[in-house]
Structure 1
Amino acid sequence: MEESMGVSRRGFVKGAGALGALAAVGTTAAASPALFGAGSSASALPEEKVTWAHCAINCPGRCSLRFHVVDDEVTWVETYTDPTAPFDDPQPRACLRGRSYRRWLASPDRLSYPMKRVGKRGEGKFERISWDEAIDLASGKLKEVIEKYGNEAVYIPYATGVSATTARPFNRLMSLLGGYLGFYNSYSTAQISTITPYMYGPKGNTGSSLAAAEKSELILMFGSSPTETRQGGLTTHYDWVSLREKTKAKIYMIDYRLNDSITNHSTQWVPINPGTDAALVAGIAHYLIKHDLIDLDFLHTYCVGFDEQTMPEEYRGKNLSYRAYVMGEGYDKVEKTPQWAAKITGISAQQIEALAQEVGTAKPLYVVQGWGSQRRSNGEWAAWSVMALPCLVGQVGLEGTNNGTREDRTSPKSVSMPVGKNPVGAKIPCFMFTDAIDHAERMTAKNAGVRGTDKLNVGIKYMINYAGNCLTNQHSQINLAHDILADESKCEFILGIDTVLCDSLKYADVILPDLFRFEQTSQISTGSDVAYMITGTACTPPKFERKTAYEMASMIAERFGVREKFTEGKTEDEWIEELYEQARQQDSKLPTWEEAKKMGVYTQKHAPVVSMRKFREDPEANALGTPSGKIEIFSAKLLSDTADWEFGKDDTLPGMSTLLPIPAYFPEWYGIETTTDEHPLLLSGFHYRGRLHSSWGSIPQMKEVNPQEAWINPADAEPRGIRGGDTVRVRNEFGQIELLAKVTGRVVPGVVAVSQGAWHDADMYGDRVDRGGCINTLTTQRPSPLAHGNPQHTNICQVERV
């Protein structure tokens, strides 16, 4: 494998490095005599080509890139800069990760040829084969699986490695071949995206833009760090920094870490035990009610379920309202005082009361949440609680307010390649694909969230894993995932497509070498308050035997006799141009295709978005998509939707046979109230500057400046004899990882914080100790109860020096 993947590449890296060194010192034609001798001239220098491109990883930034190319080799990568623009004019400049793409592009570990597995799944042993053999193996096994099990046995896993207009060619292919088992939700947002329609309706009612918060008096941010999770020049990172500079509002960041978004403003940090956001909101609500700071006019006009007066008629008189829950008249008869909340959240009762006083009197109030608080076993109710908070004080739909969801982002119009109608109606929650491999016959609509059918008829037997590291690395409980994937009697064939051999790709039976989006024509739209579109062309011709995913899918389509239907007679470049023209028909302001390619970056400025403004102005004419047409703090629909569901242990509250239909707090399976003597610490993940999920996780230079560390408070480190820089082992019932210790007061006592996305590095046929420090070795595959989503931050552990 080393010969097929690496040796020839190292020769290229050495040469490219020399060119890069010249670029780094600013080589120009004028400098040539000093560098090349008196006889040299400008004409003797190689001609340089510069191409536009964009990052295509699942980051909202998707920033602009400019590739400098000499003799078909990339010499250096820069980003968009307009020296003629005003100083404060926003530009989609790439972060350091994007600017390091040349390291990835020219990595010795770049996949260059088709390969087939020659060892056990997970060992990472492969040998080079021809394209014909690779396509024959992949196509032949696909035909066999469809004939033997039916199309429901074919699955395309959730993956985030590629975003662009033509990023789903294998979905289109499988729609033409009779369909495939579908999925819904994402690993990032399952809990909040599931609960939001119950409160605000299926249209989503996304949040206000961060620019709208400039007019606020108080900003509350729950579980979010824009400068870490959304880096880049024109995404929420930019909006957040801009807001910090312009607003006169007081800002509170509610998080278990003093994260990078507030490191220079530590007085704005409200340290909280992870998984307890709903308890904090309940404690604030109690104070608001007791001190008459609730906006009853708003709640009675726009909302359902706050008190008896606003409850659906059939549920009145049963103490099921949110007010009854908070004031101790609800299901548990416990009053949710600030003192009660303090014991759970770790925030003092006095601080909760002071915060509640500010919430009740600040106008405008802007409440926003990231996706950290909801990626938990009780995440649906954490997200719902944060959304309820601004409603309690009527701070929704007005200038300077937000509805408690994530901030709005706006993109120019774009059209993606049609994937066609999937003839297979069955869908599973994306997080539960390992269950669908291991015991699909037990998965039903009532116990596993199966949609489109009452139950699954067959397990997953064939997977097409395109640009994804979610089979293991980004999935949960890696040791269990390995056991399921390594058993070839379960999933019989895995086709992997990627640029490097990530951990998930080690389980593939055949690997196909992919091109980056900047090695082909590509276009993407994204943005925030300033939306932008980037159009790129190939920086170099394809090298070695790499191909685009569109070409790969076309080759498989040919084996099945549907190539013409798949391509419709068009190349991928022709598809992209045609799709762009469709977008131009819907937005005449967009430049022509030739203009878009020439300019590279196209921007659109938008006025700040105020969420639910129209609903606030006229709630009858602009009714929400909920059953009542109003904001539902109590959801009868949630009760009816889940009335016959089958729940696991601790999925419901004591004495309840269904899920709680209000935004309440309840303890996590592995949380602050459920630690044990063996595992006394909480373990939570966070996003890291050095990676986007696991992307860039293999780049040595990025790992050197962003080492994988376990954040631990001095109060927890000292009794364990742990000092900063020590190698520590973090363990729980699911596995063990080794990494460096970061002893810091930037994490609350009792909590260990480990950044997600580090590359798993363990001998899976040996001791299974993960020396890459991947947190998903320690997370559980048990899904959250309503969304059946990823509870990646719900964990307990022990830490010790190695």
Structure 2
Amino acid sequence: MEEKGGPHTASTLEDTPETIVSTCSINNCGGRCVIRAHVKDGTVVRLSTDESVEPPLTPQMRACIRGRGYRKMLYHPDRLKYPMKRVGKRGEGKFERISWEEAIETIASQMKRIGETYGPASRYVNYASGQSWGLFSGRNMARKLLAMTGGYLNYRNDYSSGAANIATPYTYGTNNSGSSFDSLLHTRYMILWGQNPAEMINSTPYMHFLREAKKRGAKIIVIDPRYTDTSVGFADEWIPILPTTDNAMMDAMAYVIVTENLYDKKFVDRHCLGFDSGQMPEGVPGKESLKSYLLGEKDGVAKTPEWAEKICGVPAAKIKEVARDYATAKPAALMQGWGPQRHAYGEQVIRGGAQLASLTGNVGKLGGWAAGTGYWSRSGVVYPITFENPVKASIPCFLWTQAVERGTELTPEDGLEGVDKLDSNIKMIFNIAGNMLVNQHSDINKTTKMLEDENKVEFIVVSDIFMTPSAKFADILLPGTTFFERWDIGVPWCYGDYVVFGGKAIEPLYECRNEYDVFADIAAHFGLKEEFTGGKTMLDWVKVSIDRTREEMDPDFPSFEEFSQKGIYQFSFEEPLVGFKDQVEGKIPFETPSGKIELFSKALWDMNKHDEIPALGKYVPAWEGPEDPLKEKYPLQLISWHYKRRCHSTHDNNPWLEEAAKQEMWLNPEDAKARGIKDGDRAKVFNDRGEIYIDVKVTAKIMPGVAGIPQGAWFTPDQTGIDQRGSVNVLTAQRPTSLAKANPQLTNLVDVKKA
């Protein structure tokens, strides 16, 4: 017999009329595509996507293979169906069914007990995104209620662009260093440095504009250790580079541009600080300038292409060619992906890219690009659900495991902000719609051992739609909803002139509930339900957001009825957005202390950690990089990437997407031959942190000396605790980046043996 709320059989739907509901995935994907759910008698029977006409500046918002596979997620037999409590050891995955009343009562009482015993900063909502990247982010529902009941320990920054978010403002004063995608229609030369939009979908319309730019004559270069789908589909040339060494190539390019007098002297003189000895901040020696560094005036090492070739593996002649082309093609766009900054000194990659854009005068120019983090925004919707946390203490999100182990020992030197000292370690964790608790955080073996100790974190609440590796560590496990089962509005990551309507297609299956309603019921135990909800449902809040957006941001924004029918609204503008255009035209200063582009940062200089946190963006050899002595023991550099069949770890259990792209490690033929490994063989990948087993794809699409494993595979240990799925974070380190205290997960040395 079919469970209550489950999908109907095909025979019961044959003559049932069909309705089409326009909705939108709110997974943590940069794309926000239009998904149309075809519903018969309360069942989603098929999906379609955007079929609108495609004018040049308003491209279709069509779903990729992930979007096409959402029915398999919605009706997967392994959906969590009812609340449960742990009955075995934590992490063992043994649970028993309980009522919603018991689940809510237990959570409320533990919130109260832990807050009163250890203080509000002992309560923490883990960084996560999963199924909740919209108005009703589950983590924000948890944080709002915690804020109303005394507060919680804040986190800041993110895993995706953590080093970039801190580094870019030291050059430009802001992370909004990007331009709108239509500006690329005016570029002549484009470098996609570690950027792979064809797989990770930075923003749904981005690839449309790449195609249009290419049609209009732009030359596209991809610099990446892998021959990616972006390389296949867009690149005129792929330049492989060793992971963690990007700044060596950047330094050498800058050397060529400066010594061959290809730099934009007028731009540098007017807008930059720190280029040469005459541009240095007061009290800083002239030999600390960018030009002096490139020429080797202080350390005796000129940063020539020949110097860089020995480090990064890119031939000196190719470095010279790219440098000259980038400097002389006007305008040119250097666009940085976030993969290269997820390494030990990832801040340097971001500042190095911004230096090249500045030297060539491509900042603030139509068809240029300022590099750096690359955010841009000129549109969006009003987020009406707000709250303020009375606890001011915050940690970098990547350091949450340290806050569990030694929270009271953390200092501002470790990244603690808002207070000088915490009163307690983290004792309670809400992990809402995310797999960061275990699967997506570094060093899974170390993390799981910590979480198994109930004297450390005393209570863990997880809400999700599947029994993920993180969900197995819950004390109370709640069945959440998919985007088909609730109202919402989808907004792209950090760039995109559009928003997508999130229509509710069906009622929640089984006993599943969205976190907004769950935390409203928990609030009732504190006498705060009315204050928590404002007397509004999720649908009410969507309508409030639409009305306020019309009133406060865009009078042309559609009404609820219009928005729900069309499914998408694309904002229109008379001209492209060009990052820093007003600054370069002299209308306003840059938001840096000097008001200029700070190639040299006095703020970084004053930290007096010049070896690890230099004032210039420059090459710093990474731990577990190609110059680390550990390479003798573990000779391969291991990277990971956002796979086209997953959104982080979402969809790893989707059988259709497993057919589209299986979980396998890429290994160059040279490295495979040296280990007696053939295509399709199973291999053990290992370092001092652990070992995993995975099938091997032997391919020349990855450079020698590098192994690549798609990130996001669910940690699947056997009886001995060894992963059999290829979950890359068994092998990654918890040591953060130097400045941002951010995610270093692409800095790893490993070895591989045939299984």
Q: TM-score, normalization: structure 1? A: 0.90
Residue 136 (structure 2) pairs with residue 166 (structure 1): yes
Q: Counterparts of 2:438 and 2:727 in 1: how far apart (Å)?
A: 10
Secondary structure of 2:742 counterpart: coil
Amino acid at match of 2:175: G
- Structure 1 residue aligned with 2:86: 117
Deviations along 1:394-441, whole A, 9 cap, x unmatched? 222122111113555546431224331100000000001011011112
Residue 216 (structure 2) pairs with residue 220 (structure 1): no
- Structure 1 residue aligned with 2:116: 147
Secondary structure of 1:591 counterpart: coil
- Structure 2 residue aligned with 1:788: 741
Residue 748 (structure 2) pairs with residue 798 (structure 1): no
- Structure 2 residue aligned with 1:628: 594
Q: Given the alignment, which residue of 486, 489, 496 partners 1:520?
A: 486
Residue 294 (structure 2) pairs with residue 326 (structure 1): yes
Deviation of the 1:673 alpha carbon: 1.1
Amino acid at match of 1:519: E
Q: Counterparts of 2:534 and 2:390 in 1: how far apart (Å)?
A: 20
The within-5 A match list for 1:528-607 is: 531-586=497-552, 587-606=554-573, 607=575
Conserved? CA contact 2:175–2:374, under 8 Å: no
- Structure 1 residue aligned with 2:253: 284
- Structure 2 residue aligned with 1:743: 698
Deviation of the 1:368 alpha carbon: 1.0
Residue 365 (structure 2) pairs with residue 398 (structure 1): yes
Q: Given the alignment, which residue of 312, 327, 331 partners 1:345?
A: 312
Deviations along 1:674-697, whole A, 9 cap, x unmatched? 142220010011111000100111
Q: Counterparts of 2:494 and 2:152 in 1: how far apart (Å)?
A: 34
- Structure 2 residue aligned with 1:4: none
Deviations along 1:418-468, whole A, 9 cap, x unmatched? 33110000000000101101111221111x111101122211101111101
Conserved? CA contact 2:592–2:598, under 8 Å: yes
Deviation of the 1:175 alpha carbon: 1.2
Q: Given the alignment, which residue of 642, 646, 655 partners 1:687?
A: 642
Q: Counterparts of 2:359 and 2:202 in 1: how far apart (Å)?
A: 33
Residue 106 (structure 2) pairs with residue 137 (structure 1): yes
Residue 571 (structure 2) pairs with residue 617 (structure 1): no
List gaps (5 residues or longer) in structure 1.
1-6, 23-44, 644-651
Deviation of the 1:608 alpha carbon: 2.4
Aligned pair in 2 of structure 1 residues 351, 113: CA closer, same or farther (>3 Å)?
Answer: same
- Structure 2 residue aligned with 1:759: 714
Deviation of the 1:89 alpha carbon: 5.6
Amino acid at match of 1:189: S
Aligned pair in 2 of structure 1 residues 372, 73: CA closer, same or farther (>3 Å)?
Answer: same
Q: Counterparts of 2:5 and 2:329 in 1: how far apart (Å)?
A: 63
Conserved? CA contact 1:412–1:526, under 8 Å: no
Conserved? CA contact 1:472–1:482, under 8 Å: yes
Secondary structure of 2:500 counterpart: strand
Deviation of the 1:88 alpha carbon: 8.8
Residue 717 (structure 2) pairs with residue 775 (structure 1): no
Conserved? CA contact 1:209–1:407, under 8 Å: no
- Structure 1 residue aligned with 2:155: 183
Amino acid at match of 2:289: S
Aligned pair in 2 of structure 1 residues 19, 217: CA closer, same or farther (>3 Å)?
Answer: farther
Q: Counterparts of 1:325 and 1:282 in 2: how far apart (Å)?
A: 9
Residue 447 (structure 2) pairs with residue 477 (structure 1): no
Q: Counterparts of 1:86 and 1:612 in 2: how far apart (Å)?
A: 28
Deviation of the 1:240 alpha carbon: 2.5
Conserved? CA contact 2:176–2:374, under 8 Å: no
Aligned pair in 2 of structure 1 residues 496, 265: CA closer, same or farther (>3 Å)?
Answer: closer
The within-5 A match list for 1:21-420 is: 45-82=15-52, 90-161=59-130, 162-167=132-137, 168-201=140-173, 203-230=174-201, 234-244=204-214, 246-264=215-233, 267-317=236-286, 319-330=287-298, 332-407=299-374, 409-410=376-377, 412-420=379-387
Deviation of the 1:166 alpha carbon: 2.0
The within-5 A match list for 1:455-494 is: 455-494=421-460
- Structure 2 residue aligned with 1:32: none
Deviation of the 1:231 alpha carbon: 6.8
Conserved? CA contact 1:72–1:541, under 8 Å: yes
Q: Counterparts of 2:394 and 2:202 in 1: how far apart (Å)?
A: 33
Amino acid at match of 1:351: K
Conserved? CA contact 1:225–1:261, under 8 Å: yes
Deviation of the 1:542 alpha carbon: 2.1
Residue 592 (structure 2) pairs with residue 639 (structure 1): no
Moved more, 352-361 or 505-514: 352-361
Q: Counterparts of 2:493 and 2:160 in 1: how far apart (Å)?
A: 19
Deviations along 1:512-534, whole A, 9 cap, x unmatched? 11111221121123389862222
Q: Counterparts of 2:590 and 2:357 in 1: how far apart (Å)?
A: 17
Q: Counterparts of 2:668 and 2:11 in 1: how far apart (Å)?
A: 45
Moved more, 562-571 or 190-199: 562-571
Aligned pair in 2 of structure 1 residues 360, 90: CA closer, same or farther (>3 Å)?
Answer: closer
Secondary structure of 1:77 counterpart: strand
Q: Counterparts of 1:473 and 1:188 in 2: how far apart (Å)?
A: 15
Conserved? CA contact 1:684–1:794, under 8 Å: yes
Aligned pair in 2 of structure 1 residues 411, 196: CA closer, same or farther (>3 Å)?
Answer: same
Secondary structure of 1:113 counterpart: coil
Q: Counterparts of 1:725 and 1:209 in 2: how far apart (Å)?
A: 42
- Structure 1 residue aligned with 2:686: 731
Amino acid at match of 1:73: T
Deviation of the 1:285 alpha carbon: 1.4
Aligned pair in 2 of structure 1 residues 578, 286: CA closer, same or farther (>3 Å)?
Answer: same
- Structure 2 residue aligned with 1:428: 395
List gaps (5 residues or longer) in structure 2.
none
Deviation of the 1:87 alpha carbon: 9.2
Amino acid at match of 1:257: R
Q: Counterparts of 1:523 and 1:200 in 2: how far apart (Å)?
A: 31
Deviation of the 1:216 alpha carbon: 2.1
Q: Counterparts of 2:6 and 2:150 in 1: how far apart (Å)?
A: 43
Deviation of the 1:62 alpha carbon: 1.9
- Structure 2 residue aligned with 1:442: 409
- Structure 2 residue aligned with 1:663: 617
Amino acid at match of 1:793: L
Conserved? CA contact 1:305–1:634, under 8 Å: yes
Q: TM-score, normalization: structure 2? A: 0.96
Conserved? CA contact 1:195–1:384, under 8 Å: yes
Residue 714 (structure 2) pairs with residue 714 (structure 1): no
Identity %: 38
May I ask how many residue pairs the two structures share in their alignment?
A: 749
Conserved? CA contact 2:683–2:752, under 8 Å: yes
Q: Counterparts of 1:124 and 1:237 in 2: how far apart (Å)?
A: 41
